[in-house]
Amino acid sequence: MLHIPMDSRSHLKNIFICVLVALTVVIIYLVNENTPDGMYGPAYKKSNTTASSPPEPKWEDPGPYHVAYPRNYRFIMDNSPTCKTTTPFLILMVPIAPTNLEGRDTIRRTWGGKKMVLGQLVETVFIVGLPGGVDVNQQARLKQESEQYRDLIQSNFQDSYRNLTIKTMVMLEWLAQHCSKASFVIKIDSDMLLHVDNLVALLLDPKTPKENYMLGLIWWHSPVLRNPFNKFYMPRHVIAEPEYPPYPLGMAYVMSLDLPKKILSISPQIKPIYIEDAYLGMCLKRLGVFPTDPPDQRMFQVVPQHPMSRCDLSKVVAMTTTSMSQMQIYWQKIVQGVHC
Ligand SMILES: *[C@@H]1O[C@H](CO)[C@@H](O)[C@H](O)[C@H]1NC(C)=O
Ligand SMILES: *[C@@H]1O[C@H](CO)[C@@H](O)[C@H](O)[C@H]1NC(C)=O
């Protein structure tokens, strides 16, 4: 700093100004720290505004409420011909734990095994991240399974419940990259039963939009949970709004295949929270896309009344099951057909 001698009064005045400036800087910093990202304002300041504003975080610790979604995970396994040599009408995309071979095999034997449905090509893809844990052979077994069935894709993030948002985002990347010519995808959890014929029939209905279409069990006024002991706790400094925007419950949702690219284009502006489906809702809101409720409430069931009769089952599109054996029993009933 350039030093100019001065009398003591102006010296005092200068100290005062320095203190004032320092105080202002501290206050601005604190205010910025406490400003919630919100779901409506951009989570990241534009990289451009000031020289010191941080770029989007890459690999640093995202903290407890966000996930490390830096958009630079990559697929390390992808033997699937889906959307590469085929153009399915509907993709059944199943996020599943790397270790859950029983789940994949049951789905392959049941709803994941159907290929042509009402004259439309339907293909199943399982998506996994990196297996954690101590079993060093897990990755080798996955590779073998992938070569055998060619329905498995794997990205290089750590697969865990807290990382589900990453799984959804890399799923969207894969769909955007390969499947823009296909018509629809359903993202469906591995403990769900899917009535494939009913879903295809619904999607073939002329009333079903072919673009900007997101269908599922929509949570219209889902509160942001402020109890720190709740599994889905979210503090105010992360999300200030009392409610999430409407979103389809993560267990099963259908989208038209123009949406993956659109969601990905908007997502860099919205810092990814760990609640996968609520984050999807935040992106949809920014896009101005409204999710759609099923035309019949019986189509998507999160807590079905067991046992379901064949007549009940004939109305379902997707529902939660309590075990793999239950899924197989219900699937048999669906295959046997309806008698209401
Ligand atoms: C940076 O700011 C200028 C105008 O200030 C704008 O034209 C440009 O698009 C911005 N670049 C990025 C990467 O945001
Ligand atoms: C989420 O994935 C990232 C990238 O692989 C990893 O660094 C992080 O530890 C994972 N978080 C959890 C909770 O598994």
* pLDDT value of position 132: 87
Residue having the nearest C-alpha atom to atom 12 of ligand 1: 48
Nearest of 65, 184, 30, 171 to residue 121 by alpha carbon: 184
Report the pocket of ligand 2 as residue ranges, CB < 6 Å.
Answer: 68, 157-158, 160, 162-163, 166
Confidence label for 190 from pLDDT (cuts 50, 70 and 90): very high
Read off the pLDDT of each residue in 82-95 and give the average, rounded to a whole number.
98
Average pLDDT of the residues of the chain: 88
Confidence label for 29 from pLDDT (cuts 50, 70 and 90): low
Confidence label for 243 from pLDDT (cuts 50, 70 and 90): very high
Residue having the nearest C-alpha atom to atom 10 of ligand 1: 48
What tens digit of pLDDT does each residue of 101-130 get? 999 999 999 999 979 999 999 999 999 999
Domains in the chain: ranges and CATH? 75-295 (3.90.550.10)
Read off the pLDDT of each residue in 48-57 and give the average, rounded to a whole number.
48
48 Cβ inside 6 Å of ligand 1: yes
Rounded Cα distance between 218 and 246, Å, is: 6
More confident call, 336 vs 35: 336
49 Cβ inside 6 Å of ligand 1: no
What tens digit of pLDDT does each residue of 307-323 get? 999 999 999 999 999 99
* pLDDT value of position 18: 62
Residue 334 CB burial class (10 angstroms; 0-12, 13-18, ≥19): buried
Distance from the alpha carbon of residue 51 to the mean position of ligand 1, in angstroms: 12
Q: Which residue has the tokens 């038209």?
A: 256
Q: How many CB atoms lie within 10 A of CB 263?
A: 24
* pLDDT value of position 264: 97
| pLDDT beyond 90 at 8 | no
Mutate to test the pocket of ligand 1, among 48, 53, 56 (most ligand atoms within 8 A of CB): 48
More confident call, 119 vs 133: 119
Residue having the nearest C-alpha atom to atom 1 of ligand 1: 48
AA identity, residue 199: L
Question: Cβ distance 40 to 241 under 8 Å?
Answer: yes
Task: Please give the C-alpha separations between residue 274 and each of 79, 263, 271, 302, in angstroms, as whole numbers.
Answer: 29, 16, 10, 21
Distance from the alpha carbon of residue 287 to the mean position of ligand 1, in angstroms: 22
- The encoded tokens of residue 71 equal 């958009």
Distance from the alpha carbon of residue 48 to the mean position of ligand 1, in angstroms: 6
Q: How many CB atoms lie within 10 A of CB 299?
A: 21
What tens digit of pLDDT does each residue of 137-180 get? 999 999 999 999 999 999 999 999 999 999 999 999 999 999 99
| pLDDT beyond 80 at 203 | yes
Confidence label for 208 from pLDDT (cuts 50, 70 and 90): very high
Q: Give the number of the atom of ligand 2 that is nearest the alpha carbon of residue 159.
A: 14
Distance from the alpha carbon of residue 53 to the mean position of ligand 1, in angstroms: 14
CA-angle at 10, arms to 5 and 11, nearest 5°:
60
| pLDDT beyond 60 at 2 | no
Entry field: residues in the chain = 340
* pLDDT value of position 60: 61
Rounded Cα distance between 52 and 54, Å, is: 6
Beta strands in 42-119 (DSSP E): 75-78, 90-95, 116-117
Confidence label for 41 from pLDDT (cuts 50, 70 and 90): very low
* pLDDT value of position 71: 83
Give percent of the chain with pLDDT exceeding 70. Answer: 83
Lowest mean pLDDT among 16-30, 64-78, 276-290: 16-30
AA identity, residue 177: Q
Q: Give the number of the atom of ligand 2 that is nearest the alpha carbon of residue 59.
A: 7
Ligand nearest to the CA of 45: 1
Residue 231 CB burial class (10 angstroms; 0-12, 13-18, ≥19): exposed
Backbone angles phi, psi at 113, to 5 degrees: -90, -15
CA-angle at 251, arms to 249 and 255, nearest 5°:
70
Read off the pLDDT of each residue in 319-340 and give the average, rounded to a whole number.
93
List for the chain the helix, strand, coil content (%; round to 5): 35, 20, 45
Read off the pLDDT of each residue in 80-84 and give the average, rounded to a whole number.
97
Strand, helix or coil for residue 149: helix
Ligand nearest to the CA of 46: 1
Read off the pLDDT of each residue in 3-8 and give the average, rounded to a whole number.
49
Confidence label for 230 from pLDDT (cuts 50, 70 and 90): very high
Cβ-based neighbours of 146, under 8 Å, separated by 6 or more: 77, 79, 152, 154
Beta strands in 26-142 (DSSP E): 75-78, 90-95, 116-117, 120-130
Task: Please give the C-alpha separations between residue 70 and each of 46, 62, 129, 157, 193, in angstroms, as whole numbers.
Answer: 16, 10, 15, 11, 33
